[in-house]
Amino acid sequence: MNGYLARALIALLLAAFLFFQARATAGQPHRRRAFRLGAAALLMLAVYNATLVLNATPVPLQIGLAIAGVALFIGAIVSLVLSFSSGELRGERERIATAAREFREQREQQAHKKSDSR
């Protein structure tokens, strides 16, 4: 399989994943926009790689596709930062903090059991 074709297929798969992630984000407009922009950027990457596979597209069009894809990725990052700063990811942050606290407690308990067994 051609490397460009493999990249195009993987980009399409990831774009579909981001599209479904965007559908699952209710009440988080910045995060939804970030996922949609990321999906669009990956679609541009897939089209760009498809043009490389076909080797029939003029170079200026390929450059335009690449620039559009990068611009969409930058837009997705900016939207994700806006989502983070507006507090849309507060629940995620709390979930991660809770998991880290539980992991730390488990590690301390295991260390305490090790020291007791010696």
Whether 1 has a pLDDT exceeding 70, the answer reads no
pLDDT tens-digit map of 46-94? 999 888 888 877 888 888 989 999 999 999 999 989 888 887 767 777 7
In this prediction, residues 23-40 reach a mean pLDDT of 88
How big is the chain, counted in residues?
118
Backbone φ and ψ of 87, nearest 5°: 90, 10
Cα–Cα distance for residue pair 114/102, rounded to 1 Å: 18
pTM of the complete model beyond 0.85 = no
Backbone φ and ψ of 26, nearest 5°: -90, 135
